Amino acid sequence: MARWAELPAGLDRRERQLVVQLRRLKDHSGLSLAALGARTGYSRSSWDRYLGGRAPVPRAAVIGLAEVCGVDPTRLLALHEVATEHRAADGHSTGTAQPGADSGPAGRSSAG
């Protein structure tokens, strides 16, 4: 299994904690990013950005990863909430709703 790249130096410690836990869960699952994408509806490239600390992880993606791995999402959602609250307080995107081509589950359009 390939080692993860170092997380961005400017990544807040709360977001870092969430990403580290998500990485551990993904590694424990044995799934590739492509397989994880296929099972969660988020693309491989989205998961690469989320787990690389380059994009905030949407709440639905946290739930999707937990479901695919068969774990209770409660602890992960608590970490997500803390990270999201911190981002909102700093005036950054919260990662709860990310319209756009590659940010949500595949095959779902934000346009009605």
Residues in contact with 64: Cβ distance below 8 Å, sequence separation at least 6, in sequence order: 39, 40, 41, 42, 105
Burial (0-12, 13-18, 19+ Cβ within 10 Å), 2 = exposed
- Residue 55 and residue 47 in contact, taking contact as beta carbons nearer than 8 Å: no
Q: Is the pLDDT of residue 102 over 50?
A: no
Global pTM value: 0.79
pLDDT per position as a tens digit, 83-94: 999 888 776 654
pLDDT per position as a tens digit, 74-83: 999 999 999 9
- What phi and psi, each to the nearest 5 degrees, are found at residue 101? -65, -40
Return the CATH class of domain 13-89. Answer: mainly alpha
Domain definitions of the chain by residue range: 13-89
pLDDT reported for residue 101: 38
Confidence at 2, pLDDT banded by 50, 70, 90? low
Residues in contact with 23: Cβ distance below 8 Å, sequence separation at least 6, in sequence order: 4, 51
Confidence at 23, pLDDT banded by 50, 70, 90? very high
Q: Is the pLDDT of residue 96 over 90?
A: no
